[in-house]
């Protein structure tokens, strides 16, 4: 299959706009049915999808790809439930109050879909963050047609998944043009530039995301860009935790930073340990022989990152594993002073099986180091009962979107409460790309003032015909 031409992108985008004229009028149950039908179709084609993905990516079929495909269909079904439940609309009703200052007219507010969305698939999750991944699912759920830019690291997987999705949506009665796949670098640029596209979702590197963000901003009419980019995902091991269970923590850390050959967006890339820690002493025994990395670009980037970190004076190699089809895993270590002096070199994500230990000598030194960190998706604390970590947690909240205790950041549950985002460069927005509220990215608020009942969206009509939770005159009303 050849790359999608700019003319083809134009045709696809205009078909998406035509589809939006229908999807914007669909009800939640109808769109939920589209998502469930798509999930069922993916499950039915699971064996073939997994076979193609395993061949293209070298990721193990079981449990990795089996689990990831199950996550993908679970996401689709979750968003079906989200839109049926109805609170995602944030329906709000203010009845007239002439005694207020200033007087309040009849005001009713609801979230509406933005329009056609461009989605850039990720390299490291060929299913869950790709063609039918969370961005696609959350956009379709609220009525936004989706045009996906496939990742070149798994083109056959992308094409097969796209064919399953297109067929399932057609069988479910969705309008033609509601979903399409494009391929190629130029196609991606044409998609970002197209005036029909109302938002862009991206999962990938800081460099690639920044380039797209700048391009979106340069459009005659800028649009939202939702980028999930790089993250160091710092981990802090307190002196008490190190003394009580340092060996076990080393094993857990090794499993986390080498999971998927270190190609998870939530990989712990910097770990703060007490000087002379048991974690550092035990970690070398747990290094593995990794599979090949997903793409040549990731392989080159990993090599460049290791070279950059290793060139910093004051950084030493603690342990290195055996190279297999992929590069040897590596653990380096330094102190807080070196980290702060060379933050530019040391605090850039190295995507692959690498982590940096940072030895600290006091709580004050630790907090100073945390203050130097860029934004991230996660931050993790391992502590013992009785240790005061309130100040530490406060610092970590400022630089991350999810704070974990006594666990490891790899693995992102798909649920109502999940938040997968964080300050730049983790993401460029306050929204999440995983979990129920991911739909908020592809909606905008519209208020109706003194509107006739017959012209109001059903969610705002006085009788609440949808039976959804609403805020009425300031009070949350949940129908029984």
CB 378 within 8 A of CB 404: yes
Q: Work out the number of other CB atoms within 10 angstroms of the CB of residue 47.
A: 11
Residue 450 phi, psi (nearest 5): 55, 35
32-85 pLDDT, tens digit per residue, is: 999 999 999 999 999 999 999 999 998 999 999 999 999 999 999 999 999 999
99-121 pLDDT, tens digit per residue, is: 999 999 999 999 999 999 999 99
Mean pLDDT estimate for the chain = 97
> What residues are labeled active site?
228, 265
Q: What is the mean pLDDT of residues 408-422?
A: 96
Statement: 235-405 belongs to CATH 3.40.309.10: yes
Nearest alpha-carbon partner for 145 in 111, 169, 109, 123 = 169
Edge to edge, the sheet with strand 235-237 lists 316-320, 330-335, 354-360, 270-274, 235-237, 376-382, 400-405
Residue 428: the pLDDT is: 82
133-155 pLDDT, tens digit per residue, is: 999 999 999 999 999 999 999 99
Q: What is the mean pLDDT of residues 417-424?
A: 96
Above 90 in pLDDT, residue 348?
yes
Q: How confident is the model at residue 430 (pLDDT cuts 50, 70, 90)?
A: confident
Above 70 in pLDDT, residue 1?
no
- pTM, rounded to two decimals: 0.95
444-467 pLDDT, tens digit per residue, is: 999 999 999 999 999 999 999 999
Q: What is the mean pLDDT of residues 382-391?
A: 97
Q: How confident is the model at residue 429 (pLDDT cuts 50, 70, 90)?
A: confident
Residues 6+ positions from 385 with CB-CB distance below 8 Å: none
Nearest alpha-carbon partner for 436 in 420, 417, 412 = 417
Above 80 in pLDDT, residue 400?
yes
Give first-to-last CA distance, the chain, whole Å. 53
Q: What is the mean pLDDT of residues 208-233?
A: 96
How far is Cα 114 from Cα 469, in angstroms, rounded to an integer? Answer: 22
Above 90 in pLDDT, residue 414?
yes
Residues 6+ positions from 147 with CB-CB distance below 8 Å: 9, 12, 13, 16, 116, 117, 118, 119, 179, 180, 181, 182, 191, 197
Any idea where the domains of the chain sit in the sequence? 6-229+427-475, 235-405
Residue linked to tokens 């496939």: 150
Same fold, 6-229+427-475 and 235-405: no
Q: What is the mean pLDDT of residues 271-275?
A: 98
At the top level of CATH, which class does the domain 6-229+427-475 belong to?
alpha beta
177-196 pLDDT, tens digit per residue, is: 999 999 999 999 999 999 99
């Amino acid at each position: 299959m050849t790359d999608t031409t700019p003319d083809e992108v134009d045709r696809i985008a205009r078909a998406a706009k035509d589809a939006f004229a229908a999807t914007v009028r669909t009800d939640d149950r109808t769109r939920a049915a589209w998502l469930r039908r798509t999930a069922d179709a993916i499950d039915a084609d699971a064996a073939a999808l997994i076979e193609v993905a395993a061949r293209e990516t070298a990721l193990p079929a079981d449990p990795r790809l089996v689990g990831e495909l199950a996550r993908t269909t679970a996401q689709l079904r979750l968003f079906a439930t989200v839109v049926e439940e109805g609170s995602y609309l944030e329906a709000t009703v203010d009845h007239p109050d002439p005694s207020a200052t200033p007087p309040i007219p009849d005001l009713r507010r609801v979230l509406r879909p933005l329009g056609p969305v461009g989605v850039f698939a990720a390299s490291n999750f060929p299913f869950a963050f790709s063609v039918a991944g969370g961005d696609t699912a959350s956009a379709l759920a609220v009525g936004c047609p989706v045009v996906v830019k496939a990742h070149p690291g798994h083109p056959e997987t992308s094409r097969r998944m796209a064919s399953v999705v297109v067929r399932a949506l057609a069988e479910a009665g969705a309008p033609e043009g509601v979903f399409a796949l494009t391929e190629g670098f130029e196609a991606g640029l044409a998609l970002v530039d197209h005036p029909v596209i109302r938002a862009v979702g991206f999962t990938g590197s800081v460099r690639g995301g920044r380039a797209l963000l700048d391009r979106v901003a340069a459009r005659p009419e800028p649009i939202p860009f939702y980028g999930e980019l790089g993250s160091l995902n710092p981990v802090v091991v307190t002196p008490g935790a190190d003394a009580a269970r340092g060996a076990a923590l080393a094993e857990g850390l090794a499993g986390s930073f080498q999971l998927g050959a270190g190609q998870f967006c939530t990989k712990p890339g910097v770990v703060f340990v007490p000087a002379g820690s048991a974690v550092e002493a035990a970690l070398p025994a747990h290094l593995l022989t990794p599979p090949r990395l997903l793409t040549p670009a990731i392989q080159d980037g990993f090599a460049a990152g290791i070279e950059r970190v290793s060139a910093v004076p004051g950084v030493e190699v603690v342990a290195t594993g055996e190279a297999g089809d992929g590069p040897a895993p590596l653990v380096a270590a330094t102190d807080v002073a070196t980290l702060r002096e060379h933050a530019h070199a040391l605090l850039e994500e190295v995507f692959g099986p690498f982590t940096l230990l940072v030895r600290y000598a006091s709580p004050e030194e630790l907090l100073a180091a945390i203050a130097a960190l860029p934004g991230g998706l996660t931050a993790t604390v391992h502590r013992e009962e009785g240790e005061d970590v309130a100040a530490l947690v406060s610092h970590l909240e400022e630089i991350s979107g999810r704070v974990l205790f006594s666990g490891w950041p790899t693995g992102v549950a798909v649920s109502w409460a999940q938040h997968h985002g964080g300050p730049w460069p983790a993401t460029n927005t306050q929204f999440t790309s995983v979990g129920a509220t991911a739909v908020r990215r592809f909606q905008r608020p519209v208020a109706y003032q003194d509107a006739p009942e017959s012209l109001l969206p059903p969610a705002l009509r006085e009788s609440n015909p949808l039976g959804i939770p609403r805020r009425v005159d300031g009070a949350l009303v949940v129908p029984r």
